[in-house]
């Protein structure tokens, strides 16, 4: 029985998150229905992570075992012919027996998109947080450096398991600004900021809390020292932290170690 991984992309606006829930539309439910309709199978699925209601994914990885040994391109194309417009399979790959999309992940990367503007942003409203700008990106970068490393991030989120650890290893945080076009009055048509975080795993609400804290600093309403004081000091989530809205959150990618046979071929 072959094992496959599926790399999914979806617009989370009309999904109540990834995980199947009764009476609501979820990304996992839609993918499971398409897989069952195509293969006449209902395999157990593993996923690299759970996205919040309204959050998006560019590289959600899902694993399962099927009875039929499909060609990967054929399986991808057949699924995409069945799936709705807001969810697509970007890639299908074969995996070693026992592959688990969550447990086998080495690290995960999330990106949060912010639009700096005094008014509304109709075009970006579904996939970015519009914040009254400008933001002090240099101050945000200095503060973000305190989030890198192995820390107890209980102030920023909760474990997905009851009683689970809130210690996570954040390998990198970047804050990037990009201006697109120039309007008649000299301001950019679109001023966007992307906050990108890679870690071994994420707590519930962790990325959105990071973003809320960094925006607060970028607006001059908090200091780098305030953010640093929250790391490793809390037993529960800090209620003073604003959680950024889900619409700006993008699950970006998941990294796995090369398969054993790939390492052997490269040796």
Q: Do domains 3-103 and 106-253 have the same CATH topology?
A: yes
Tens digits of pLDDT across the chain (267 residues): 899 999 999 999 999 999 999 999 999 999 999 999 999 999 999 999 999 999 999 999 999 999 999 999 999 999 999 999 999 999 999 999 999 999 999 999 999 999 998 878 887 889 999 998 789 999 999 999 999 999 999 999 999 888 899 999 999 999 999 887 666 666 666 789 999 999 999 999 999 999 999 999 999 999 999 999 999 998 888 888 999 999 999 999 999 987 643 433 333
Give me the pLDDT at residue 124, please. 86
Structural domain boundaries of the chain?
3-103, 106-253
The answer to whether residues 10 and 28 touch, using CB atoms and an 8 Å cutoff, is no
pLDDT of residue 154: 96
Q: What pLDDT, on the 0 to 100 scale, is given for residue 104?
A: 95
Domain 106-253 coded CATH 3.60.110.10: no
- What CATH topology corresponds to 3-103? Alpha-Beta Plaits (3.30.70)
Active-site positions?
Answer: 52
What pLDDT is stored for residue 161 in this prediction?
85
Flag whether the pTM goes above 0.95: no
């Amino acid at each position: 029985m072959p094992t496959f991984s599926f790399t999914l992309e979806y617009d989370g606006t009309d999904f109540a998150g990834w995980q199947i829930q009764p009476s609501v539309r979820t990304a996992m439910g839609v993918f499971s229905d398409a897989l069952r309709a195509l293969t006449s199978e209902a395999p157990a699925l593993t996923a690299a992570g759970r996205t919040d209601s309204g959050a998006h994914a560019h590289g959600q990885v899902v694993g399962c075992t099927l009875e039929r040994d499909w060609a990967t391109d054929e399986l991808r194309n057949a699924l995409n012919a069945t799936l709705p417009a807001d969810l697509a399979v970007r890639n299908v790959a074969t995996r070693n027996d026992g592959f688990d999309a969550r447990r086998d992940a080495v690290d995960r990367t999330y990106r949060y998109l912010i639009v700096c503007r005094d008014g509304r942003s109709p075009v970006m409203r579904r996939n970015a947080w519009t914040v009254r700008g400008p933001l002090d990106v240099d101050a945000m970068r200095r503060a973000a450096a305190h989030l890198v490393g192995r820390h107890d991030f209980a102030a920023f989120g909760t474990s997905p398991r009851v009683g689970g650890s809130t210690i996570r290893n954040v390998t990198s945080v970047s804050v990037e600004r990009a201006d697109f076009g120039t309007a008649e009055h000299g301001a950019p048509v679109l001023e966007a900021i992307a906050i990108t975080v890679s870690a071994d795993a994420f707590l519930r609400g962790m990325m959105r809390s990071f973003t809320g804290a960094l925006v607060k600093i970028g607006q001059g309403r908090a200091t780098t020292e305030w953010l640093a004081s929250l790391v490793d000091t809390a037993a529960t989530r800090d209620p003073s932290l604003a959680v950024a809205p889900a619409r700006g959150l993008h699950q970006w990618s998941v990294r796995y170690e090369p398969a054993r046979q790939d390492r052997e071929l490269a040796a």
